[in-house]
Amino acid sequence: MSFYQKVYEIVRRVPEGRVASYGQIARMAGSPRASRAVGYALHVNPMPGVIPCHRIVNREGRLAPAFAFGGTDAQRKLLEAEGVKVDEEGYVDIKKYCWNGK
């Protein structure tokens, strides 16, 4: 299985109402230093309706500045529709909403 395939399989498991960080996904895919590669994989997400890339944020909880599927506003709307609160600066409380990987 390729790295991108691993990323997509892991991201598919992030439940509604939760977020994960790029680094967390990289570690779970077996490449702990590949946070940027996770971002690249999500940028070319072949199945946006199936692979919920909007649930991935940076380690501080910040939304992706270049969210591929409509920008930060689209990511915010998708997360808020799932009950995730996003502050005015585009941050999610990572401690509150972080997915534990199970």
- With beta carbons less than 8 A apart as the criterion, state whether 98 and 18 touch: yes
Lookup: tokens for 98: 């972080």
Side chain identity at 75, as an amino acid letter? Q
Strand partners, 86: 92
Q: Which domains does the chain have, with CATH numbers?
A: 3-97 (1.10.10.10)
Report how far residue 10's alpha carbon sits from residue 74's, in angstroms, rounded to the nearest whole number: 22
Supply the residues annotated as catalytic.
Answer: 53
Q: Indicate if the pLDDT at residue 25 is higher than 90.
A: yes
Mean pLDDT, the chain, rounded, equals 94
Lookup: tokens for 101: 């990987």
pLDDT tens for 36-78 read: 999 999 999 999 889 999 999 999 999 988 766 778 889 999 9
Site of tokens 């509604």: 16
